[in-house]
Structure 1
Amino acid sequence: MAITSLPSADGKELTISIQGRFDFGAHQDFRDSYERVGTTPERYVIDLKGTTYLDSSALGMLLLLRDHAGGDSAEIKLINCSPDVRKILAISNFEQLFSIQ
């Protein structure tokens, strides 16, 4: 499991990439990926291309990010979801809270 974050050149967008299992073991690394950035981005992109597994604690972590980013006014996109990950997000009604692409 590896989590990396990359701010855009203008600092307005932060892309967080998650490789491997996204579960409770990723909790601290995921929080650090957005809390320890020098700037406060306007938009967040969560790249799930390399995510092989997602559980309920990962859903909770996404909700914590949403709260951190401004709640209902947060701009967060979940991109490159595998069919299995997309199914979990759909069952959890996350398409109402996040932009899923």
Structure 2
Amino acid sequence: MKEASMTIKLPERFDFSYHKDFYNHTADILAKSSLKEVQMDFSQVEYLDSSALGMLVMLQKKCAEVNKRVVVINVSGVAAEILQIANMDKLVDIR
């Protein structure tokens, strides 16, 4: 049986202005016990800041508590460089 996953498509600007939406999306996912993987789709992200990194770290910690995995998908360009510089690959699976 394939593990259930859910994808969150992130906005072009992944920064503090997205915090409330991010929290609402992830709260729903954390509440669903059938979901084992949260995919963060970076395909449209052109800008992210330190608050975005903080949101990813927070999500990873909350997911780890309930046995879920965070996966970053479709990341490229500046966003990929920022995640690499921040060593996010040590915390989340980047595909």
Same fold, judged at TM 0.5 (above): yes
> Runs of 4 or more off by more than 6 Å in structure 1?
none
> What TM-score comes out, normalization by structure 1 length?
0.80
Q: Which has the higher helix share?
A: 2
Q: Which residue of 2 aligns with 1:45?
A: 39
Structure 2: which 5+ residue stretches go unaligned? Answer: none
Flag the structure with more relative contact order, 1 or 2, with Cα contacts below 8 A and sequence separation at least 6: 2
- Computed over aligned residues only, the root mean square deviation of the Cα atoms, in angstroms, reads 1.9
Q: What is the identity, as a one-letter code, of the residue corresponding to 1:14?
A: M
Structure 1: which 5+ residue stretches go unaligned? Answer: 1-9
Matched, 1:15 2:7: yes
Q: Which has the higher strand share?
A: 1
Number of paired residues? 91
> What TM-score comes out, normalization by structure 2 length?
0.85
Q: Which residue of 1 aligns with 2:58?
A: 64
* 8 Å CA contact retained: 1:11, 1:39: no
Aligned residues with identical type, % of pairs = 33
Q: How far does residue 85 in structure 1 lie from its aligned partner after superposition?
A: 0.6
